Amino acid sequence: MAGPTAMHASMMAIRLPDARQDASATRENARRLQSEFMDRHRIAVAIMAIDGALWARISAQVYNAPEDYDRLIEVGLR
């Protein structure tokens, strides 16, 4: 997680685990992984390349259930 806890509110960026990182974290690689989450898993999550690493931007919203976050962890954040 990046930034002070007090500034997280309902949205935060989480660095993807090493298994999801690649040799060069680029915008194109982030876009490709974001598409994979949607196409293969039906998960809408923003993936960004920041300082040479891939990050997922997640948001806590009323329409998301705890199971949605569990599924994201299962398919992408391990």
pLDDT of residue 47: 93
pLDDT at 59: 84
Token pair of 72 as six digits: 């994201």
Question: Would you state the pLDDT for residue 75?
Answer: 83
Sheet (strand 46-50) strand order: 11-15, 53-59, 46-50
Q: Is the pTM above the cut of 0.95?
A: no
Instruction: Record the tokens describing residue 44, joined without a space.
Output: 């809408």
**Helix/strand/coil for 29:** helix
pLDDT at 77: 66
pLDDT score, position 32: 92
Q: Residue 45 corresponds to which tokens in the numbers above? A: 């999550």
Q: If 0-12 CB within 10 Å is exposed, 13-18 middle and 19+ buried, where does residue 66 land?
A: exposed
Mean pLDDT by 10 residues, the chain (78 residues): 65 84 85 92 91 89 85 78
